[in-house]
Structure 1
Amino acid sequence: MKKNMGNGDRFLRIIIGVLALILGLSGNFDGTLNWIILAVGVIMVVTSSMQFCPLYSLFGINTGKSKSEKSK
Structure 2
Amino acid sequence: MKANLGTIDRSLRIVVGLVLIGLSLSGVIGWWGWIGLVPLATGIFRFCPLYRLLGIQTCNRC
Q: Fold conserved (TM > 0.5)?
A: yes
The structure 1 residue matched to 2:53, chosen from 55, 58, 62, is 58
For the pair shown, the structure with the greater C-alpha radius of gyration is 1
Residue identity in the other structure for 2:13:
R
Tell me, which stretches of 5 or more residues in structure 2 are unaligned? none
Unaligned regions of 5+ residues in structure 1, if any? 68-72
Question: What is aligned with 1:36?
Answer: 32
> TM-score when scaled to structure 2?
0.89
Alignment: residue pair count: 62
SS at match of 1:49: helix
CA deviation vs aligned residue, 1:30-71 (integer Å, no higher than 9, x gap): xxxx332212x111111111000011001110000135xxxx
| Residue identity (%) | 42
Computed over aligned residues only, the root mean square deviation of the Cα atoms, in angstroms, reads: 1.3
Shift of 1:6: 0.2
5 Å-filtered alignment, 1:1-72, equals 1-29=1-29, 34-39=30-35, 41-66=36-61
Amino acid paired to 1:51: R
